[in-house]
Amino acid sequence: MKILILCTGNSCRSQMAHGFLQSFDDMLEVFSAGTRPAEKVNSMAVQVMSEIGINITNHIPRSIEKYKDQEWDYVITVCDSAKESCPVFSGKVKHRLHIGFDDPSEVTGTPEFIKNEFLRVRDEIKMRFQELYMNQIKPELSRG
């Protein structure tokens, strides 16, 4: 099963979601991309994921252009639609979903406050993607 997770910069939320989904089931082919990919994955995203045993240090922000001509079982946008425009993906897709999250990389304040926001968003991503995996993706894999 092929899953593409989309965001604007592909440096934080989409990378964390990518890491979680891949950790739930190594039979999934998980990719992530952005409309305006950043130069590198956000270091705080890498840190908070490593704290729970998920390594995304080798992840690289990629452009949505790389994936637009492929077929996908799921394309999932993770932008907070109130503040950003999520990418529109017009390729061949079985399931299109939007699961929005705040962008912790936009948070300002003390280092402790910023880290707590990354932890909060990381935990939200884990909860929502685990729910998606258990309720939709895993049953679909079992049928297929």
Phi, psi of 98 (to 5 degrees): -125, 120
Of 12, 41, 44, 79, which is the active-site residue?
79
> Longest Cα pair distance anywhere in the chain, in angstroms?
48
Are 41 and 120 in contact by the 8 Å Cβ rule? The answer is no
Clarify whether 79 is annotated catalytic.
yes
Clarify whether 7 is annotated catalytic.
yes
Clarify whether 12 is annotated catalytic.
no
Helix (H) or strand (E) holding 19: helix 13-24
Rounded to whole angstroms, how far apart are CA atoms 132 and 129?
A: 5
Of 1, 86, 93, 119, which is the active-site residue?
86
Of 5, 6, 7, 75, which is the active-site residue?
7
Rounded to whole angstroms, how far apart are CA atoms 86 and 100?
A: 9
**Residues forming the active site:** 7, 79, 86
